[in-house]
Amino acid sequence: MSPSHRILARLSIRTKVPLVAGLLILVVGGALSTAAYLAMKRAAMERGGERLVSLAGQFHETFRGSIGDVKARAIAAARKPALARYLQSPSPAREGAALAALEYSGPQPELTLATELRDASGRVLLSAGRQGGPAQPRLPSLGERDSAPLGAALPELASPDSAAIGRLRQDQDSLAYPIAARIPSEPGGYLVIWRRVSNAPQSRAQIARIFGSEAAFHFGNADGSIWSDLGRATAPPPVDPARLEGLQRYSRRNGPGDVLAAAGRIPGTPWAFTIESPVHAVLAPTRGFLRTLTLIAALCVTIGLGAAALLSRRLTEPLRHLTDAADAIASGEVSRRVRLARADELGRLGASFDAMATQVEEARHRLEETVASRTRELNQALRQLQNTQESLVRREKLALLGQLAGGVSHELRNPLAVMSNAVYYLELIQPNPPEEVRQYLGILRDQIIQSAKIVDDLLHFSRTPSANRQPIPLRRILTAVMPQLPELDGITLEHEVPDTLPEVKVDAAQAGQVILNLLINAVQALEQSGSGGRITLRATLLNEALVALEVTDSGPGIPPELQGRIFEPLFTTKARGIGMGLSVSKTLAQLNGGDLTLAGGDGAGTTFVFTLPLAREGG
Amino acid sequence: MSRRILVVDDDLAMTQTLCDILRLRGWEPRSAHSGEAAIAAQREDPCPVVLMDIKMPGIDGVQAWRTMKAERPELRGVLMTAHTAPELLAEAERESDARVVIKPLDLAGLLELLERGG
**Which of A70-74, A204-208, A584-588, B2-6 is the most confident on average?**
B2-6
Q: Model confidence over A448-464: pLDDT tens digits? A: 888 887 777 777 666 66
The DSSP code sequence of A581-594 is: HHHHHHHHHHHTT-
The 8 Å CB, 24+ separation contacts for A6-13 are: A12/A316, A13/A312, A13/A315, A13/A316, A13/A319
Residue A533 has pLDDT above 90, yes or no: no
Cis amide prior to A187 (ω within 30 degrees): yes
Of residues A255 and A313, more confidently modeled: A313
pLDDT over 90 (residue A374): yes
Task: Using a CB–CB cutoff of 8 Å, tell me whether A14 touches chain B.
Answer: no
Of A411, A418, A459, Cβ closest to residue B17: A418
The answer to whether A410 contacts B82, with C-beta atoms less than 8 Å apart, is: yes
pLDDT digits (tens, 9 = 90+) for A491-520: 888 888 888 889 999 999 889 989 998 998
Per-residue pLDDT at A130? 52
Q: Which of A290-294, A402-406, B106-110 has the highest mean pLDDT?
A: B106-110
Long-range contacts formed by A140-143: CB under 8 A, 24+ apart? A142/A113, A142/A114, A142/A169, A142/A171, A142/A176, A142/A194, A143/A114, A143/A116
Question: Does the CB of A590 have a partner CB in chain B at under 8 Å?
Answer: no
Verify whether the Cβ–Cβ distance A424 to B55 is below 8 Å.
no
Taking the C-alpha atoms of residue A514 and residue A550, their distance in angstroms, rounded to an integer, is: 12
- What average pLDDT does this structure show over A404-408? 78
A419 contacts in B (CB within 8 Å)?
104
Count other C-beta atoms under 10 Å from residue B68's C-beta. Answer: 24
* Chain B residues whose beta carbon lies within 8 Å of the beta carbon of residue A445: none
Question: Which residues from chain B sit within 8 angstroms of residue A405, using beta carbons?
Answer: none
Q: Please write the tens of the pLDDT for every residue from A142-174.
A: 344 444 445 445 555 555 567 788 888 777 777
For A290-298, what is the mean pLDDT? 86
- Position A243 scores a pLDDT of 80
Q: Contact A102/A129 with Cβ under 8 angstroms?
A: no
For residue B15, is pLDDT > 90? yes
Is the ipTM reported for this complex over the cut 0.90? yes
Please give the residue of chain B at the shortest CA–CA distance from A426.
B21
In this structure, which amino acid lies at residue B58? Answer: G
Q: What pLDDT, on a 0 to 100 scale, did the predictor assign at position A490?
A: 82
Query: Does residue A57 have a pLDDT over 90?
Result: no
**Helices (H), strands (E): how many in chain B?**
5, 5
Residue A355 has pLDDT above 60, yes or no: yes
Across chain A, mean pLDDT equals 82
Best residue in A425, A449, A461, A464 for a mutation probing chain B (most B CBs within 10 Å): A425
Closest chain A residue by Cα to residue B23: A425
Q: What pLDDT is recorded for position A612?
A: 93
Interchain CB contact of A424 with B (< 8 Å): yes
Q: Work out the average pLDDT over A275-279.
A: 86
Q: What SS3 class is residue A570?
A: coil
**Cβ of residue A410 closer than 8 Å to a chain B Cβ:** yes
B73-82 pLDDT, tens digit each: 999 999 999 8
Residues in chain B: 118
**Is any Cβ of chain A less than 8 angstroms from the Cβ of B7?**
no
- Does A293 touch chain B if contact means CB atoms closer than 8 Å? no
Kindly list the distances between the CA atom of residue A465 and the CA atoms of A462, A583, A585, A588, in Å, as whole numbers in the listed order: 9, 14, 12, 8
A186-206 pLDDT per residue, tens: 788 888 888 887 766 666 677
Instruction: Please indicate if any CB of chain B lies within 8 Å of the CB of A420.
Output: yes
Report which residue type is found at A445.
R
pLDDT reported for residue A472: 92
Quote the percentage of chain A above a pLDDT of 70.
Answer: 90
Tell me what percent of the residues of chain A surpass a pLDDT of 90. Answer: 12
Tell me the whole-structure pTM to 2 decimals: 0.44
pLDDT value, residue A199:
66
b/e sequence A585-594, b meaning 16+ C-beta within 10 Å: bbbbbbbbbb
Mean pLDDT for B19-32 is: 95
User: Inter-chain contact A425–B103, Cβ cutoff 8 Å?
Assistant: no
Q: ω into residue B104 within 30 of 0, thus cis?
A: yes
